[in-house]
Structure 1
């Protein structure tokens, strides 16, 4: 599809360039012919005056001629016109080759972002369909098995309903995350305003505190007194994701530390845990959509969809920042977010 579109766009580029070139060639040709005719007439006029014994020429000491004739050379004029035409044809031929090469290159540059966006959408739909298929299939299978069970009693029906509600909640959470990721991928709008970093972090800490208390993990928050320029809800979601991940993968009775510092035009915010860490082979992949690290690396983790860090990266990119990660197995992981100063 994009190959055909690129060829069509190239053709339009060539047509536009050559049309402009053709019009300019006509104008240049007419101007040059006018100048040639003017020069020919001027020269003929001067020679005729001289040959006819004009007083001007006699006055400057030139002898008057005996014969009288007119000076005309149509062959020279025709040759000059032919040379002008051939010169313009050569220029336009070269321009046609250049326009073809340049048009093909520019059409590729023009369509490349569109192609990337369409490919991203296709991958998103494919990944989302794959992730949705699993819980839907599990829910459908459970309902079908129970429907065919002749001995299903009221207690069994209630258990089935509870299981179905649990699966439905999982689906709802997955759909919400998919919608969030879709918004950041395709229709991301950031409402920039000056906000207190401590306010943003406070919202995130309050959201994650119940899970931290459940796992007996202490959250140490040191946001400092910094002001960032960005979207309050998105930044709160960013640090909620990082803190939530840190709590999930930390050992019970350990701590998670968030601290901020100013570094060369950026506000650097790090979130460090003391969990099981991530292997060096998996580190480059953790921001990929639906990617989940080996579940065997930690004994106590809650299930996820592999979307949180992908969303976090999109939020950071939307704020013209960067996010990096460092990790050591059995020692912990540190995520560092750099946001530009207002």
Structure 2
């Protein structure tokens, strides 16, 4: 349905291109034809005057026929007109093909944006449906149970609260994703101490690491970077949270920074199960999760974190990549310009 809609829009846009080009071509052809006809007539008149000056007309002799035959002039004008029409035809045919191609290129970003929006809505609906279905089913079963005890009711409420929290986390992640898209060119830029930024991020997530039994080690160069402090905090929180989730107890997470020229590299390395080769190209896709390849178990989350992280990095004109080997762990590397431009 949507494909047909864009095809119609493409044809309509091509028709407008052709209409404009046709009007321009015929207008210019009319001007060129008038100029050429005027030049032919001027040439004929000049030839007649030149010959008359060389050979003055004799008195009492009958008038001589014109030097240039009017039929020849008419034939010349006709040929000019035919040539112009052929040229216009070639231009219009070529413009039709080029216009169709150009219309496709013009509409492509709009189509991709709408397709992305449809995927976003579809993925979000799917992720929202799962906890809602679980919540609804649990409550329906409880309502039908006439012997439901107070303890069972409390247990049910606790489980329902977990589902509600999952929904809240999902909605918060979706809002973050949407805001990062909207604020691409509206960052609150300031000079930031990289060491303070990373230390602060580590301190905030330290309780989570201690609870998991994971140790965070750091090797940080003290330098300044220009960026949005809140967004960069979110970026580091996502990478550290991701590393903690996929690290077994007792493992070490390493955070390193390297300054090279006008660029700063931040790497977060875990020593977990790693990511399968087939999953690596999609690891930053929205809602993509490679649980089976990394842990063989279900890890809480929606697969939005790394997508948000990538968007934050790209909004800062940087890049993010991942290197991973199954059973060895993963390293996420962020490269940012020290001076944001």
TM-score (norm 2): 0.90
**What is the distance in 2 between the residues matched to 1:275 and 1:31?**
80
Q: Is the 8 A contact 1:51 1:68 kept in 2?
A: no
Offset of residue 25 of structure 1: 0.9
In the TM superposition, residue 296 of structure 1 has moved relative to its aligned partner by 7.3
> Which residues in structure 2 correspond to 1:1-342 (within 5 Å)?
1-52=5-56, 68-69=63-64, 71=66, 73-185=69-181, 188-191=184-187, 192-263=189-260, 265-295=262-292, 297-298=294-295, 302-342=299-339
Q: Could you tell me how far 1:208 is from its partner in structure 2?
A: 1.4
RMSD: 2.3
Question: Could you report, residue by residue, the CA deviation over 1:144-194 in whole angstroms, capped at 9, with x for unpaired residues?
Answer: 111111122333333222222221111000111122223334663441443
Task: Provide the C-alpha distance between the structure 2 equivalents of 1:300 and 1:224, rounded to a whole number of angstroms.
Answer: 36
Match of 1:288, SS? Answer: coil
Q: Is the 8 A contact 1:52 1:65 kept in 2?
A: no
| SS of residue in 2 equivalent to 1:161 | helix
Aligned partners of 2:318 and 2:336 also within 8 Å: yes
In 2: Cα distance, 1:299 partner to 1:38 partner? 91
Task: Measure the CA separation in 1 of the matches of 2:24 and 2:196.
Answer: 59
Q: Secondary structure at the match of 2:72?
A: helix
Q: In 1, are the aligned partners of 2:256 and 2:267 still within 8 Å (CA)?
A: yes
2: distance between equivalents of 1:297 and 1:15?
58
Give, in angstroms, the shift of residue 32 of structure 1: 1.3
Q: In the superposition, relative to structure 1, how do residues 228 and 65 fare at CA in structure 2: closer, same or farther (>3 Å)? A: farther
Q: How many residues align?
A: 333
3-state DSSP of counterpart to 2:221: coil
Q: Structure 2: how far apart are the matches of 1:168 and 1:75?
A: 92
Deviation at 1:69, TM superposition (A): 2.5
Q: Shift in Å at residue 260 of structure 1?
A: 0.9
Give 5+ residue unaligned stretches, structure 2: none
CA distance, structure 1, for counterparts of residue 304 and residue 60 of structure 2: 101
- Structure 1, unmatched stretches of 5+, are 55-63
CA shift for structure 1 position 106 = 0.7
For residues 38-59 of structure 1, what are the alpha-carbon distances to aligned partners after superposition, in whole Å with 9 as ceiling and x for unaligned?
Answer: 11111122223333259xxxxx
